[in-house]
Structure 1
Amino acid sequence: MNLTQLRSLIAVAEAGSFTAAAEAIGVTQSGMSQALAGLEEALGVKLLVRQRHGVELTAFGERALDHARAALAQLEMIRQEAAEVRGEEIGSIRIAAFPSVFTTVLSPLLHRFRSLHPGIKVVALETDDVEVIAWLESGAVDLGVVLNPPEDSDAIPIGQDAWLGVLPMGHRFARRDMVSIAELAAEPFVLATGGCHVHARTLTEAVGLSLPDVRMEVRDWTSAIALVREGVGVGIVPESTLTEKRKGIRTVRLDPPLVRRFGLKKSPAHELSRASSLLIEMVKR
């Protein structure tokens, strides 16, 4: 009996198929089949039953699965304690955020953290801002970047991003430095959501306005900017989504200014791990 066999048993139980399980732990399907066949031979008991739509554990396989998970958990504790003796930090963090944060604020933070703690595995999960909160509440992730956290929130500020108006170069507002939301909302409009529930439509609704002439609606900020460049309409986008090369477009500040704020929040569903604590401490510094 060896670690590969135990990991294979756990992976098959969780994935429900040899193919998905093999991909999950980075081995070939034939290698996994051989490992499990060897485990069954060593035990002299059937662990798995192949079904039409996948693989199921036998009754004994279910009991063996519990022991396999416990064994790997104990081995992980040995690894962690040995790392502590060596003065190293190990562990893992699951962190969720929405797309535009990954490419701007979060990426340099995670890069720095990995350089400080190479033994800690960081799993970054991309989703929309509403699901980030749902994952935090359920404990599916350890940490998450939340959008516009309330002032009394325990979220740690990690940055903010100004909203800007984006115009085609020949637009009549292009020579101005500032434009109101009301003026932009009345124009033919290109709406981008960026995978967030806060975007140009919600910003205009918050001040009692609407977007009466939406010519195109897209998810991706880059696509919206390209459509503005082609003269389809105007738009409102976060400043961080704009590249340094802004040929064909003109950006203007909003009057009054608007920003979106980002906060790093821990899951309330379980205690903060040592690895997550280290990331939070780095962010606070």
Structure 2
Amino acid sequence: MTLAQLRALIAVADHGGFTAAADLIGMSQPAVSRAISSLEREVGAPLFVRHRDGIALTEAGRRALARAREVLRNFDLIRVEVAAAAGEITGMLRVASLPSATGTLIAHRLRAFTDRYPQVQIRLFEGVDDDVRAWLCQGAAEVGVVTLPAPGLHTVPLNTHEMVAVLPEGHCLAGQESVHITDLTGRPFILTTAGCRPLIMNAAREADVQLDIAFEAGGQSAILEMVAAGLGVSIVPTLGLPADLGPVVTRPLEPRTTRSLALAVPSLANCGPAVRAFLDQHAETAP
């Protein structure tokens, strides 16, 4: 078993194919295929199942992938820890973020970090909360933006912002200064599938409201487009809302509901030098 085989396994799993993996790690496609085949022979089990739409990990592959990430992370840490002992921060920083947080909260932090530590390479992943937590747990990312609470992760507060009602322009509730969550009863509701979902459902339960969930959507932009089309009303976080909402209006939500975001790592004790430096930089600039 070689490091090249493990790197090929991770690349194929992350990018869903041999050609994309080859481009990423600088190997030819046949070489990646041979590396996976030889690894499968060594472990005595298929790691991927091939089908018409691509490939997918087997159960053995999922377990091997988790261990491969751990092995390579520890191997790469040898170099960066030695460099850190000499006062030099190097290596790779893999950051997982929510789309609404990337431009508003993370981009300027990454820019300041790269200015300060130019020898650290940055990789940014974007996804919903479940994606971010999975990437952190699987080792695909070292630090991520999560919605609190986040059990099982070490978190550092990042930002707290309001949740607001979102209505089509001209809606009967749009003339109110604020919208009580009970006002949404009996109206077609567009529910997010992302991390705000538990917050919204909890607010409805506490107000003894049964939302009429007509549609579900993941991204904030999709929800805004559906509201603009008159398909329903919704509740979204203010973070990441565009300045121009078009034929959509927002109103403060009652009772007041907030979403809190944090930077999260699986374990503070096991953070590499680049992650520790990123968290330290955040602590320096936090209000």
Q: Under a length normalisation based on structure 1, what TM-score does the superposition of the two structures give?
A: 0.70
Note if contact 2:84-2:273 (Cα within 8 Å) is conserved in structure 1.
no
CA RMSD, Structure 1 to Structure 2 (Å): 3.7
Amino acid at match of 2:180: S
The partner residue of 2:38 within 56, 74, 84 is 56
Matches within 5 A, 1:7-46: 8=4, 10-12=6-8, 19=19, 21-29=21-29
Question: Aligned partner of 1:145: which letter?
Answer: V
In 2, distance between residues paired with 1:136 and 1:280? Answer: 15
Equivalence for 1:254: 253
Shift of 1:249: 1.5
196 and 84 in structure 1: CA distance in 2 versus 1, 3 angstrom threshold? same
Paired residues in the alignment total: 249
Matched letter for residue 248 of structure 1: P
Deviation of the 1:226 alpha carbon: 1.4
The one-letter code matched in structure 1 to 2:250 is T
For 2:94, the aligned partner's letter is R
Contact 2:132 2:145 in 1 (8 A): yes
Q: 1:25 to 1:49 in 2, by over 3 A?
A: closer
Matched residue, 1:159: 159
Aligned to 1:44: none
What pairs up with 1:170-189 in 2 under 5 angstroms?
170-189=170-189
Are the equivalent residues in 2 in contact too, given 1:130–1:197 (CA < 8 A)? no
Once residues 146 and 82 of structure 1 are traced to their aligned partners in structure 2, the CA distance between those partners, rounded to angstroms, is 30
Q: 1:135 to 1:259 in 2, by over 3 A?
A: same
The answer (yes or no) to whether the contact 1:162–1:260 under 8 Å persists in 2 is yes
CA 1:111/1:235 → structure 2, altered by over 3 Å: closer, same or farther? same
Segment of structure 1 superposing worse, 7-16 or 175-184? 7-16
Q: How many Å separate the matches in 2 of 1:225 and 1:164?
A: 12
The reply on whether 1:273 has 2:272 as its aligned counterpart is yes
Pick closer, same or farther for the CA change 1:177–1:196 going to 2, 3 Å: closer
1:195-214 matched pairs, under 5 angstroms: 196-198=196-198, 200-212=200-212, 214=213
Whichever residue aligns with residue 200 of structure 1, its letter is I
Change (3 A) 1:218 1:9: closer
Partners of 2:277 and 2:229 lie apart in 1 by: 46
- Distance in 2 (CA, whole Å) between partners of 1:105 and 1:272 is 21
Instruction: With the length of structure 2 as denominator, give the TM-score of the two structures.
Output: 0.70
Give the Cα separation in 1 of the matches to 2:136 and 2:75.
23
The alpha carbon displacement at 1:110 in A equals 2.1
Q: Deviations over 1:3-28 (max 9, x none)?
A: xxx87555446567964552231344
The answer as to whether partners of 1:168 and 1:229 remain within 8 angstroms in 2 is yes
1:95 matched residue in structure 2: 95
Aligned to 1:39: none
How far does the alpha carbon of each residue in 1:38-86 deviate from its partner, in whole angstroms, 9 at most, with x for none? xxxxxxxxxx968xxx621576xxxxxx9xx89x948x7567646865x
Q: Give SS of 1:210's match.
A: coil
Distance 1:105 1:229 in 2: 26
Q: 1:107 to 1:194 in 2, by over 3 A?
A: farther
Cα distance in 1, alignment partners of residues 106 and 157 from structure 2: 12
> 2:96–2:144: 8 Å Cα contact kept in structure 1?
yes
* Structure 1 residue ranges (4+ consecutive) displaced by more than 6 angstroms after TM superposition: none
Q: Which amino acid aligns with 1:176?
A: Q
CA gap of 1:187–1:15, structure 2 versus 1, over 3 A, is closer
Query: What one-letter code is carried by the residue in structure 2 that aligns with 1:100?
Result: S
Contact 1:180/1:256 (8 A) holds in 2: yes
Gaps of 5+ in 2: 43-67
Once the 2 structures are TM-superposed, how far is the Cα of residue 276 of structure 1 from its aligned partner? 0.8
Q: Larger Rg: 1 or 2?
A: 1
**Partners in 1 of 2:18 and 2:150 — Cα distance?**
46
Runs of at least 5 residues in structure 1 that lack an aligned partner in the other structure: 1-5, 34-47, 60-65
Q: How many Å separate the matches in 2 of 1:228 and 1:177? A: 19
